[in-house]
Amino acid sequence: MFGQGCAATWIAPVAMPLGAKRAGGRNRRTTFIVTSTAAKADVAGVPAPPAAKPQTKKGVSLIDTTRRQLLTAGGTLAAFGVCPCATCGPAQAGEWSYGAYEGPRMWGAMCREGTAQSPININTSASPLRSAPDVRFQFNYASSVRSIANTGHGMQVNFNPGSIVTFGDKSLELLQYHFHTPSEHTIDGIHSSMEVHLVHKNTKTGGLCVLGCLMVAEETAKPHESFTQTFSKAPAAPGREIESPKFSPNVRSFLPNNLAFFNYKGSLTTPPCSEGVEWIVFTDTISVTPAQVLDFQNYLGDGVNYAMNYRPIQPLLGRTVNGFEPSRLGALAAAPQPGYSDML
């Protein structure tokens, strides 16, 4: 079921994290410990297991967990212009899963037939960072949370209209954010402990743009406050959604200070895997504690085991991944670099 060549042993749930109050486990994979120094992504589609001990950002032994879903919705991308992840209503958890029998290998339709699928491995040597003149991120995230849901594949925070990111001449409205463990994207073949996805809608075209940031478990890190708030408010029962929850996450804290990024055209990473999604994956990471990663894995396992929610790496199939360095943004008063005109 997992890739070859790594010795593994099951994690013993000695102390249940915060999610231990949950009951009624579903058929999900249990996290296990890898004795190798790095968890490599299998481009052929076999999930890479997580590494045993979360280490510093400079380390390579990271907890590998998987990603949560954007709920199932209609078949076309247009259906996601308003609600990109089908969690705007009750979760359709029974229609697909990350398990051995209904997992990513069994997802059909565009998930199997698409030619521009996500996530991908980002080869940094093939996508060197270059300047992007006159393009800057400007964040105006309001704290108006509409609801928080247990989608059956993770926790998702949905927002009322009004949280805007301007990116060059583009205006992106935040729809929701959610998490995956381990990271769905890999950098030079290596997973991080988790990944957060901030799903936006282009206010002019209605297309989707996802800002992705890898999250690294560090033993010396302080708990990520907004993750802790989200975790504490997330409903325990799969399919449940709490309207107007009383919390105000700092959404900007889910992104790094250095906004260098990779950009490519891809898809939703859950069924129906609709294509035409713009991806911005930041080069820098943010920190969480090992306990926060385990809490989220335990949440995915309904408090009775440790589970994952990620889709394996998909083939690039000739797509271009562009890298842009924000420290040089605006430094050159010239025409956009080749490839930049294809963004968003």
Instruction: Return the structure tokens found at 246.
Output: 């009383």
Overall average pLDDT of the 71-95 stretch: 36
Q: Is the pLDDT of residue 272 over 80?
A: yes
To the nearest 10 degrees (0 to 180), the angle between helices 225-233 and 290-300 is 20
Q: Is the pLDDT of residue 338 over 60?
A: no
Question: Band of the pLDDT at 217, cuts 50, 70, 90?
Answer: very high
Shortest CA distance to 194 belongs to which of 168, 240, 231, 166? 231
Per the prediction, the chain carries an average pLDDT of 76
Which one is predicted more confidently, 43 or 109?
109
Q: Strand 208-217 vs strand 275-282: parallel, antiparallel, or unpaired?
A: parallel
User: Residue 340: what pLDDT?
Assistant: 40
In the block, tokens 């107007």 appear at 244
When mean pLDDT is compared across 137-141, 212-216, 264-268, the lowest value belongs to 137-141
The DSSP letter of residue 298 is: H
Q: How would DSSP label each residue in 67-109?
A: EPPPPP--SSGGGGTT-TTS-SSS--GGG--SSTTTSGGG--T
User: Residue 307: what pLDDT?
Assistant: 96
Q: Is the pLDDT of residue 328 over 90?
A: no
User: Residue 194: what pLDDT?
Assistant: 98
Overall average pLDDT of the 215-240 stretch: 97
Overall average pLDDT of the 215-237 stretch: 97
Q: Which amino acid is at 104?
A: P
Instruction: Return the structure tokens found at 2.
Output: 């997992």
Distance from C-alpha of 203 to C-alpha of 290, rounded to nearest angstrom = 37
What sections of the chain are H helices per DSSP?
A: 110-113, 225-233, 290-300
Q: Is the pLDDT of residue 282 over 80?
A: yes
Examine the residue annotation and report whether 180 is marked as an active-site residue of this protein. Answer: no
pLDDT in tens, 113-126: 999 999 999 999 99
CATH tag, 8-342: 3.10.200.10
What SS3 state is found at 245? Answer: coil
Domain ranges of the chain: 8-342
Instruction: Name the catalytic one among 153, 185, 197, 200.
Output: 153
Shortest CA distance to 241 belongs to which of 83, 41, 129? 83
Overall average pLDDT of the 175-182 stretch: 98
